[in-house]
Amino acid sequence: KWCDVGDMISVVLKQVREFSKHRSIRVDLPDQPLFICGDEVLLEQVLINVVSNAIKYSPDYSEIVITVTRDERNATLIIVVADNGVGIPDADKERIFEKFYRSESSRHVTGTGLGLAICKGIVEVHGGTIGADSNPGGGTRMSISLPMEAPEALFPYRGQGEVE
């Protein structure tokens, strides 16, 4: 199914609103609507997990920024969720995507360590990648890259019974 990224982000923000109190979440979207082909419920789940982490591991009154950009050359959509929280030590940047792995830097908050492992699985079945970037103590940038096609890519198949 073709999913409008802006719509998905709105749905996610509605769901985390209660939980995000005292933080402002800014969304920076390109002007034209962007679509990705995939399972909307699962992709929203990825965003909920990542945005919830940004909330959970950042202080009250800090800002979270969600930026969506399009890399024309690789036909890739990049969603970055940036926070100003505790950050992730270099040594843990890969391991946080393992099941049950939790960084020492976040032991002050409870969690099971499953969220990102699930996100990674969902992103990978969509042909994408997920990675973390961080300066210790200087916040985290979680980047999700997904292959993207313009909605007009559907047109050649219209009327041929190949697209529902």
Among 123, 140, 145, 148, binds ligand ATP (CB under 6 A): 140
Stretch 84-103: interaction string toward ligand ATP, x if CB under 6 A: -xxxx-------x-----xx
User: Among 37, 26, 33, 43, which Cα is nearest to 149's?
Assistant: 37
CA distance 42 to 46: 6
As given in the structure block, the two tokens for residue 125 are 């079945």
Number of separate helices (H) and strands (E) present in the chain: 3, 7
**Does the protein bind ligand ATP through residue 115 (CB under 6 A)?**
yes
Among 116, 122, 123, 146, binds ligand ATP (CB under 6 A): 116
Q: Which residue has the tokens 């719509």?
A: 7
**Does the protein bind ligand ATP through residue 57 (CB under 6 A)?**
yes
Contact footprint for ligand ATP (CB under 6 A) = 49, 53-54, 57, 83, 85-88, 96, 102-103, 106, 111-117, 140
